[in-house]
Structure 1
C-alpha cells in the first residue's frame, strides 16, 4: 500500500508543478486534482490516505482563521441578511437539482435528494445511508459536483480577468516557530474533539474555530508560510482526484450526465443570484460567486484565499450554509416524501 501512496503523491505533485508551469489558476489544487483523477480513471494504481486530506483541511481551516480580526468580524456581522439569503438559496439549488435528477436521472427521489443537496459529500452520504438511498450514487454525484465547481470557477475568473486585493495574512503577521508549535497543538486538539463528537468537517471547522477565537481577540501566534498553504492545497486536490476510478464514468452514465447538467445549471443560477446580491450590498460580485457557488467550504475558501477575493466572507457564507443544510436536509426530505407520496398515488389512481 505504501507504493500506492507514494505513487499518488508523486502524481499529485507532478500535476501541481505542471499546472504552475502552464500558469493554470490555483495550480497546487487543480493540477494535483486533474492529474490524479485522470490517472485514476486510466487505471493507475495510486491512493491517498484520509490523513493527507485531514492535513490539507487543517492547513485551510487554520490559515482562514487568521483573517478573522475584530474588524473583519464586525464587517461580517453586518452581512448576516445576505448570508441568510445564501443559506436559503442553497436549499433551493438542492430542490432544483433533485427534481432534475428524479425526472431524467432514472433514480428514486431519496437518492436524487441527497445527491443534490449542497452539503458535504461525507455528511450527505451518511444521511443517504440512514434513509436507505443509493449511497454510491450520492457519493459519485458529490464527487462530480466538486470537480466541476473547483475547475470551472477559477478558469472562468481567469478568462474574465477577475482578481481581488484582499490582503493575505503573510502581509499582516510574522512567522514565529514557537507560536506555530502552539497553534498546531491547539488546533489539532480542536480537530480531534470535533472528530470525537462527530461534528461535520472536523479538520476544517475545529482549527478554524480555535484560530478565529485567538485572532478575534487580537492574539496572533504566527502566520502559516506560503509553502505550507501550497502543500495543503496539494493534499486537498490529491484527495479529491482520488475519488475517481476506472469505472467511475461507466457506473450509471445517464445519471452522471444529468448530474453534470444539473451542476451546470446551478452554477449559472449561482452567478445570477450573486449578481443580484451584489446590487443590494457592498460585497464584490466575485466574492459572492464563491460564497454562493455549489462548491465545498474547503475548495471555495482556498479559491478565495489564493485569488485574494475576501476569504473571510466566503468562509462565513459557507460555514453558515453547511450547518443550515446539514440541519434541514433530512427533515425536508421527510416532508417532501410525505407530500409526494399521496400525490403519486392519486395520479396512479386517475391514470
Structure 2
C-alpha cells in the first residue's frame, strides 16, 4: 500500500474543504441532495481542470458505512412485509437491468467497431459488454479485467453514467415537485448515544466480515444487512445524527468526483459521447419502465423511477432518503439489482459470447 505522505494529506484536506464549501452553497441554493451534489460537482470540475484532488479511502468507507446503517433503519417489520410482497416487481427490475445492459453493450460494440482499432475483436466484445452492464464501476472493471477488456474504457463508461444519473434525476424530481411520500413508520427518530454505539459496533463487524469475504461494497452492504436484520426484528436503538449523514454524503460525493481527471477527459471522446447519449436514453426508458411498474404495484412513480434508475445504489438510495421517496423500496430494488448483476454478468457473458 503506497505511503500516505504530507502531500496527500494536504490534497485530502483541501479537497474536503472545497467540497464543504460547495455543499453549503448548494444548501443555500436549495438544490436537491446538496451534501452530495455540491461535493460531487465541484470535485469533478476542478479535477478535470487538473487541480490535484484526492479522496481518502477510509473516509469513503466510513461514509458508506454510515449511509448503509441509515438506510437499514427504514426496514421496520411493516416496511419489510411491504418490500417482501414486491418480490415479483424486484425480479422484473433485475431482468430489465440485465436486458438493458446487453442492449447497451451491443449498441456500443456496433457503434465503435471501426473506431477502437487498437482493440482485438475479443477485447472489443468484452469491453463493450462490461461497459454496458448496469453495475458498480469498480466491480464491473475488475470483472472486465479478468476477461481481457480495456479497463480504462469500462471504468470511464460506468463513472460517467453514474455521474449523469446522479446529477440529472434529483433535479428532475425537484422540478417535478415530489417529496415526502414516506408515510409508514420509518424507524427511530431520536439519537440515543448508547444505542448508536451498539449499532455502530455491530455494523462495523458486519462490514469487516463482508470485506473478509471479498463481497462488493462491503462497508455499505455489511452495515445495511446488519441494520436491516436488527430493525426487521423490531429493535430500534438509535437514529443516525443528521450531521453524520451529511458528512457521509459529502465524502461519497468526493469519492465519485475525483475519478474525473484530465486523463478521463481525453479518454476516447467519441466513446464518452456515446456513453453520455446512452445514459440519457436509458434514464428515459427506465423512467417509462418504472412508471409501468408503479401502475402494477400502486406505488408512486417517483419511487419506482429511483428503484429502476441506472445509477449507483448509494446515490439513488441517498436521493430517496433525502426526498423521502420510498427509501426501503428503492434500496431493495437497487441492492437486488446490484447483487444480481455482479453474480450473473460474467456467466451471461461466457454463455452469450464465448462462441461468437
TM-score, normalization by structure 1: 0.94
Deviation at 1:122, TM superposition (A): 1.2
Q: Go from structure 1 to structure 2 and tell me whether the alpha carbon gap of 1:68 and 1:147 turns closer, same or farther (over 3 Å shift).
A: same
The 5 Å alignment of 1:304-315 reads: 304-315=320-331
Q: Are 1:47 and 2:54 an aligned pair?
A: yes
Determine the C-alpha separation between the residues in 2 that align with 1:168 and 1:255: 44
- Say whether the 8 Å CA contact 1:110–1:128 is kept in structure 2: yes
* 1:302 alignment partner, one of 309, 318, 341: 318
Deviation at 1:168, TM superposition (A): 9.3
Deviation at 1:171, TM superposition (A): 7.6
The 5 Å alignment of 1:27-106 reads: 27-105=34-112, 106=115
Q: Are 1:329 and 2:345 an aligned pair?
A: yes
Aligned residues: 340
Deviation at 1:164, TM superposition (A): 2.9
Paired residue for 2:119? none
- Say whether the 8 Å CA contact 1:86–1:292 is kept in structure 2: yes
- Say whether the 8 Å CA contact 1:165–1:309 is kept in structure 2: yes
Determine the C-alpha separation between the residues in 2 that align with 1:316 and 1:171: 16
Determine the C-alpha separation between the residues in 1 that align with 2:148 and 2:265: 23
Paired residue for 2:234? 218
Alpha-carbon displacement from aligned partner over 1:136-173 (angstroms, at most 9, x marks no partner): 11111111011000000011111121223315988843
Alpha-carbon displacement from aligned partner over 1:38-71 (angstroms, at most 9, x marks no partner): 0101111120111121111111100001011111
* 2:218 alignment partner, one of 161, 182, 202: 202
The 5 Å alignment of 1:101-120 reads: 101-105=108-112, 106-107=115-116, 108-120=124-136
Q: Go from structure 1 to structure 2 and tell me whether the alpha carbon gap of 1:324 and 1:171 turns closer, same or farther (over 3 Å shift).
A: closer
Q: Are 1:138 and 2:154 an aligned pair?
A: yes
Q: Secondary structure in 2 aligned to 1:247? A: helix
Deviation at 1:338, TM superposition (A): 2.8
Calculate the aligned-residue CA RMSD, in Å: 1.4
The 5 Å alignment of 1:165-314 reads: 165-166=181-182, 172-314=188-330
Paired residue for 1:24? 31
> Please, which moves more after superposition, 286-295 or 98-107?
98-107
Determine the C-alpha separation between the residues in 2 that align with 1:256 and 1:164: 36
TM-score, normalization by structure 2: 0.93
Alpha-carbon displacement from aligned partner over 1:208-259 (angstroms, at most 9, x marks no partner): 1111111111111111011111111101101100111012121100011111
- Say whether the 8 Å CA contact 1:28–1:234 is kept in structure 2: yes
Determine the C-alpha separation between the residues in 2 that align with 1:57 and 1:297: 11
Paired residue for 1:345? none
Deviation at 1:82, TM superposition (A): 0.4
Deviation at 1:283, TM superposition (A): 1.4
